Amino acid sequence: MRKKFFIYGFLLFLIVFAIYLKTDRGFLLVIIIPILLVIGIYNALQEKHAILRNFPVLGYFRYLFEMIAPEIQQYFIERSTDGRPFSRNQRSLVYQRAKNIDSSTPFGTQQNLNHDSYEGIKHSIFPAKVNEELPRVLVGGKDCKQPYLASLFNVSAMSFGSLSENAVRAINIGAKKGNFYQNTGEGGLTEFHLAGGGDITWQIGTGYFGCRDAEGNFSPEKFSEKANLPNVKMIEIKLSQGAKPGHGGVLPAAKNTEQIAKIRGVEPHTMILSPPGHHAFADIKGLIHFIAQLRQLSNGKPIGFKLCIGNTAEFEAICHEMIAEDIYPDFITIDGAEGGTGAAPLEFADGVGMPFEPALIFVNKTLVGLNIRDKIRIIGSGKIISGYSILHAIALGADMCNSARGFMFSLGCIQALRCHNNECPTGVATQNKMLMKGLVVTDKSDRVYHFHKNTLHSANELLAAAGKNSFADVDINIFMRGDEFGHLSDSYFPDILTNVTKK
Ligand SMILES: Cc1cc2nc3c(=O)[nH]c(=O)nc-3n(C[C@H](O)[C@H](O)[C@H](O)COP(=O)(O)O)c2cc1C
């Protein structure tokens, strides 16, 4: 291929040059072809990229197409019900609710309902009255001195660093307007989280950003300073997150700007990998005592921890230790393995941890079985972006729900899958100041507010359709599954008919 490139390239140049000398036309080509030849010679001689070595100029098209593959997929190939992690229909729903415009769907469902995996609500012929008030849940157990009346639906952990400054500010203003909380993520509590006056759940990860000493260890003094700020309503210890359980946080070098490095107390422009485990405690007893320590340092604010379930015996052991020590977290956040992230190793995203539904069922059952369910609120996160998914999570055992990517969509995220390389085209998940300018804080904070309000209203409507007055009355029995119909239909066909069709 290389040989052909040079032979045809030189021939083409000679022909174009001859035409130019004779007719005075083709000056541009006389300039461009030698440039391409020089690039071609360089590529043919370099030893890093096999494609460019073999196809010295055409090879660039591969890189170009690879770069715009997500856009081609999304704009030209994807159907409304396709698209991962979120389908076009799901994304559109969030956009419409965020813009506060009609989100109804025409003509009927596009889903195949006659399938084992179908799940639907068993509506009642006596629907309840739709509650116009948005549901709230009180968080705070027996040792909590400052219980928090939280919205049932809140913004899941996303750090400043993975999100842009404008995104963090827009969420915070939206949270203030809608009276719900924003979880800071493990990147620390920053001025942008405090600027809008919205409620905050401050997350403490293994990097202890914002509450670490010079050696990177947990600093009780620094923690206490921030934990006692009035905006901070709850504190969450991050044990793991669904997209990369067992792996620490990842801040790619491209997003580790001077500003972020200063906030986190790290070297700028380097990849920051938080350790997979905590230094502040080394075992289950240590975790329980850490909860008590944070509660004391924060003067009794609700303290909880977040994890993706892996080894179930470990979770059971934590619960037994809570009972033995008589120390309980005020809440536990369960993140499904299908959860999102700014950046994660593919193996961890695809192959570690328990998905949301079984994890939630397991945690709820374990707490009920040990008779401690009433002491702890369960918060669920994992692709919760609609009224239906909220009700579903509540039915499986959650008291409250968090959403990360739902709120990203409300900010204008188009699922470009560029959170990790600082090139997010909508300014949501980038530190590039130019791109960030695209995200206008005042406009997007309104969208955050509307998305929250309209989604919870939809959950209220579904609750009423199921004939229930309160989310506390919801359990798994309000849902039906496709495989139930499978068994039903079996019983409608007598054996004799089955035999006939077999022949
Ligand atoms: C951009 C981004 C950054 C995130 N950062 C954090 C984080 O700092 N700490 C954490 O516990 N989870 C983090 N998560 C996970 C979310 O909080 C959430 O648990 C997960 O995405 C599931 O919710 P979702 O399906 O609504 O996105 C992040 C997710 C995204 C998309």
Minimum-distance ligand 1 atom for the alpha carbon of 406: 26
Minimum-distance ligand 1 atom for the alpha carbon of 342: 1
Contact 420, 444 (CB under 8 A): no
Instruction: Render 457-490 in DSSP notation, one character per residue.
Output: HHHHHHHHHTT-S-GGG--GGGEEEHHHHHHHHH
- Residue 173's pLDDT band, with cuts at 50, 70 and 90, is very high
Minimum-distance ligand 1 atom for the alpha carbon of 241: 11
Phi, psi dihedrals of residue 377, rounded to the nearest 5°: -85, 140
**Which residues lie across from 151 on neighbouring strands?**
136
Task: Kindly give the distance from the C-alpha atom of residue 384 to the centroid of ligand 1, in angstroms, as a whole number.
Answer: 12
Task: Kindly give the distance from the C-alpha atom of residue 146 to the centroid of ligand 1, in angstroms, as a whole number.
Answer: 26
Is residue 13 pLDDT above 90, yes or no?
Answer: no
Query: Parallel, antiparallel, or unpaired: how do β-strands 153-155 and 400-403 relate?
Result: parallel
Q: Is the dihedral of CA 382, 385, 386, 387 positive or negative?
A: positive
| Helix, strand, coil abundance in the chain, percent, nearest 5 | 45, 10, 40
Q: What is the mean pLDDT of residues 128-140?
A: 98
Task: Kindly give the distance from the C-alpha atom of residue 209 to the centroid of ligand 1, in angstroms, as a whole number.
Answer: 17
Is residue 329 pLDDT above 90, yes or no?
Answer: yes
Q: How far apart are the C-alpha atoms of 268 and 245, rounded to whole Å?
A: 25
The pLDDT value recorded for residue 503 is 46
Minimum-distance ligand 1 atom for the alpha carbon of 184: 8
DSSP 160: B
The pLDDT value recorded for residue 193 is 97
Q: What is the mean pLDDT of residues 146-151?
A: 98
| Lowest-confidence region among 11-20, 191-200, 347-356 | 11-20
The pLDDT value recorded for residue 154 is 98
Task: Kindly give the distance from the C-alpha atom of residue 94 to the centroid of ligand 1, in angstroms, as a whole number.
Answer: 17
Q: What percent of the chain has pLDDT over 70?
A: 96
Task: Kindly give the distance from the C-alpha atom of residue 344 to the centroid of ligand 1, in angstroms, as a whole number.
Answer: 11
Task: Report which protein residue has its CA nearest ligand 1's atom 30.
Answer: 341
Q: What is the pLDDT of residues 423-447, one digit of tens each?
A: 999 999 999 999 999 999 999 999 9
Phi, psi dihedrals of residue 418, rounded to the nearest 5°: -125, 20
What Cα–Cα distance (Å) separates residue 187 from each residue in 64, 161, 208, 490?
Answer: 33, 7, 8, 54
Phi, psi dihedrals of residue 196, rounded to the nearest 5°: -85, -10
Minimum-distance ligand 1 atom for the alpha carbon of 335: 19
Residue 184 burial (C-beta neighbours within 10 Å; 0-12, 13-18, 19+): buried
Minimum-distance ligand 1 atom for the alpha carbon of 238: 11
Show the ligand 1 pocket: residues with CB < 6 angstroms: 156-159, 162, 185-187, 203, 238, 241-242, 249, 306, 335, 339-342, 381-384, 403-406, 419, 429
Q: How far apart are the C-alpha atoms of 472 and 14, rounded to whole Å?
A: 82
Task: Kindly give the distance from the C-alpha atom of residue 395 to the centroid of ligand 1, in angstroms, as a whole number.
Answer: 22
- Residue 502's pLDDT band, with cuts at 50, 70 and 90, is very low
Q: Is residue 498 within a helix (H) or strand (E), and if so which, with residue range?
A: helix 495-502
Beta strands in 365-486 (DSSP E): 377-381, 400-403, 479-481
Task: Kindly give the distance from the C-alpha atom of residue 202 to the centroid of ligand 1, in angstroms, as a whole number.
Answer: 14
Q: What percent of the chain has pLDDT over 90?
A: 73
Q: What is the pLDDT of residues 247-265, one digit of tens each?
A: 988 888 988 999 898 888 8
The pLDDT value recorded for residue 490 is 63
Task: Report which protein residue has its CA nearest ligand 1's atom 29.
Answer: 341
The pLDDT value recorded for residue 82 is 81
Q: How far apart are the C-alpha atoms of 396 and 477, rounded to whole Å?
A: 10
Q: Which domains does the chain have, with CATH numbers?
A: 2-67 (no CATH), 136-480 (3.20.20.70)
Task: Kindly give the distance from the C-alpha atom of residue 297 to the centroid of ligand 1, in angstroms, as a whole number.
Answer: 26
Task: Report which protein residue has its CA nearest ligand 1's atom 10.
Answer: 157
Tokens 């541009």, residue located: 28
Q: What is the pLDDT of residues 447-466, one digit of tens each?
A: 999 999 999 999 999 999 99
Beta strands in 67-173 (DSSP E): 119-121, 136-139, 148-151, 153-155
Tell me the pLDDT of the chain averaged across its residues.
Answer: 92
Task: Kindly give the distance from the C-alpha atom of residue 123 to the centroid of ligand 1, in angstroms, as a whole number.
Answer: 32
- Residue 499's pLDDT band, with cuts at 50, 70 and 90, is low
